[in-house]
Structure 1
């Protein structure tokens, strides 16, 4: 299984690295989501605040996809450039997440992603995975213990989720991008 997951991540990473608009589905029924990230897409915490709050030079692309026959795992490829601290390891405010929130809305973290050190990160994450720091990969509600979102929910309703990359200079988010279905599966 790990080989097929790595192959899937590598295929999407290769497509993304060459700047092609949509990843190849290779005959699979996987849903492939994408997000174009920019500092201009960051949302200020004040509802009347229209200033750019992310890194105005920052940009990136993200791809999130499911695995055939595994409804509890999502894989992702995250490519980011023109933001500070990409040469540094994760920690000290350097992190990436999938958040729940529609365009123009801020929302809670639902999935913890790897920091894109050197501008790249990719992984496959199961809902029950525990990260090396002891935190769950899929965030849970502190009161109920329930998942804040499931892999299926993210894949079926991408418009309700966004990717956010944070650093020390922009702790609320250096770049952000709303997820969308690349093949319009009718969501």
Structure 2
């Protein structure tokens, strides 16, 4: 699933306006002192709404990768790749550690064709730094679809 060349190309494309540096061997991070964090999508990582039920609530076949980085000044950029799920209808970064649900903190463009990439101005430099550098494990990316409106796949960041 991980295709470093495609990921680097996606990041380079969105980085033209975000100041992202991409090295010849992959992703170098953000030019303004930002950092790259990533996580692997899995339907098994989804958490039941009551967080007490251990049953799988996401797509058991879903998988993929999330790459999230900041370019400073509150800008969060991302590349999402998902596979083996129905078309995505929404994607977000949520604030919560592994095993817990949390509020949406950044809305992302859903990977309706399997991949999406872009940059979002959060208006909050501290939030962007927390997501990508200071405490990425306290955030996760969730991709939703009509079959799994609560979340088809989840990627805990910092992995």
Q: Bin the TM-score by the shorter chain.
A: 0.7 to 0.9
TM-score, with structure 2 as normaliser: 0.79
Aligned residues: 143
Contact 1:71 1:152 in 2 (8 A): no
- Asked whether 1:4 is paired with 2:16, we answer yes
Contact 1:5 1:124 in 2 (8 A): no
Q: Which has the larger radius of gyration?
A: 1
Give the C-alpha shift of residue 178 in structure 1: 0.4
Partner of 2:63: 59
Q: Which structure 1 residue ranges, 4+ long, deviate > 6 Å from structure 2?
A: none
Give the Cα separation in 2 of the matches to 1:116 and 1:54.
Answer: 16
Contact 1:102 1:162 in 2 (8 A): yes
Question: Which structure 2 segments of 5+ residues have no match?
Answer: 1-13
Partner of 2:85: 83
Give the C-alpha shift of residue 3 in structure 1: 6.1
Give the Cα separation in 1 of the matches to 2:128 and 2:148.
Answer: 28
Partner of 1:178: 156
The structure with the greater share of residues assigned to strand is 2
| RMSD (CA atoms) | 2.7
Give the C-alpha shift of residue 112 in structure 1: 0.1
Partner of 2:141: 163
**Secondary structure in 2 matching 1:153:** helix
TM-score, with structure 1 as normaliser: 0.68
Partner of 1:143: none
Question: Which structure 1 segments of 5+ residues have no match?
Answer: 16-22, 87-93, 129-146, 182-187
Partner of 2:28: 25
Contact 2:109 2:117 in 1 (8 A): yes
